[in-house]
Amino acid sequence: MKEKLQALRAKALDELSAITSSDDLSKALEEFKVKYLGKKSELVAVMKGMGALSPEERPIMGQLANEVRGDIEAAFSEAREKAQKADLERKLIEETIDVTLPGKSSPMGRPHPISAVQTEIENIFIGLGFEIVDGPEVEYDYYNFTALNIPPDHPARDTQDTFYINSNVLLRTQTSSVQIHAMEKKRPPIRMISPGRVYRSDAIDATHSPMFHQIEGLVVDKGITMGDLKGTLELFSQNLFGEDTKIRFRPHHFPFTEPSAEVDVSCFACGGKGCRLCKGEGWIEILGAGMVHPDVLRRCDIDPDEYSGFAFGLGIERVVMKKYNIDDLRLLYENDVRFLSQF
């Protein structure tokens, strides 16, 4: 038995030293532990034979067996510690990060020119004390047309080719519909703008798109005059296009305003002398405006003898195209970053 135990120790230590240089260390060490120190190990098997020994031999062999076990355990712990250390060192070398390397930069995005101009216009009106309101893009005929003095069969409907969802519901053709919502919900004083998408059944070309953006403006209070409209639009234009900008009103017709006007700004490229941008005119048309028609006020339960108001509507794409000298509307919707990143 003595020889058996000593041979076992020698074999175990031999095997252990072979393991330290093997590849999958933790697995090999685990297998070693089961084989030499586990419940079904050879050592346990040898120790089971102790019962057959004489009472004198038994404690001697017992002591030897314990020694052998202790030696194997000590060698095993040492090997495991060594393996763990080596593993840590390998990881530290493999996973070294060079903090001095330049980082990967991701290119910074920017707002689309339509959003940028919309935000700029919003900020100007916020500065003038206006509130920004939202309106539905899917709209009742009443809000888009009838309440704005455009009853069925009115010729103004023909100029705004409409996407109908059914005979009563449509995609709004103008943000003017939000005027009605605002006046139904709120009592004067009202001072609001409403930006958003509008839809018209137009074929796409350099100046038309079935979807585009407008900003509607509405002010209703006691004693509002055309002078307020002019002053507001002048301030707005100077803020957007430059301090020297002048505005000009040309008589026009819109069913929901009376009187109505088309409003031009002096060309911000040539200062009014005439150039390619303003087609030699010196002026650029940017919006429609007027005094809110008494019938429109009345329909929203606002007494036109007590209150008056002005309204205006502006196409955002048109302003973007003039401001950045873009001659084809389609460029704004193709989302080619090489084009958009110029602005």
Which residues of this chain interact with ligand DAH, rule CB under 6 A? 174, 176, 216, 254, 257, 288-290, 311-313
- Residues 183 and 187: their CA atoms lie apart, in Å, by 7
Nearest residue (CB) to ligand DAH, 190 versus 311: 311
User: Shortest Cβ distance from residue 256 to ligand DAH (Å)?
Assistant: 6
- Answer yes or no: are the C-beta atoms of 208 and 317 closer than 8 Å: no
The answer to whether the bond into 189 is cis (omega within 30° of 0) is yes
Hey, is 173 helix, strand or coil? coil
User: Shortest Cβ distance from residue 138 to ligand DAH (Å)?
Assistant: 17
The answer to whether the bond into 259 is cis (omega within 30° of 0) is yes
User: Shortest Cβ distance from residue 200 to ligand DAH (Å)?
Assistant: 9
Give CB contacts under 8 A, 24+ apart, made by 80-87: 80/29, 82/20, 83/20, 83/25, 83/26, 83/29, 86/25, 87/25, 87/26
Residues linked to residue 261 through DSSP beta bridges, in sequence order: 251, 289
User: Shortest Cβ distance from residue 104 to ligand DAH (Å)?
Assistant: 47
User: Shortest Cβ distance from residue 176 to ligand DAH (Å)?
Assistant: 4
Nearest residue (CB) to ligand DAH, 41 versus 194: 194
User: Shortest Cβ distance from residue 311 to ligand DAH (Å)?
Assistant: 3
Nearest residue (CB) to ligand DAH, 196 versus 290: 290
Residue number with the shortest CB distance to ligand DAH?
313
Going by the DSSP 8-state scheme, the letter that residue 103 receives in this structure is P
Hey, is 278 helix, strand or coil? coil
Nearest residue (CB) to ligand DAH, 36 versus 212: 212
- Answer yes or no: are the C-beta atoms of 277 and 270 closer than 8 Å: yes
- Residues 167 and 187: their CA atoms lie apart, in Å, by 30
Nearest residue (CB) to ligand DAH, 276 versus 298: 298
User: Shortest Cβ distance from residue 331 to ligand DAH (Å)?
Assistant: 22
Nearest residue (CB) to ligand DAH, 25 versus 315: 315
Nearest residue (CB) to ligand DAH, 174 versus 245: 174
User: Could you tell me which of 338, 286, 342 has the C-alpha nearest to residue 312?
Assistant: 286
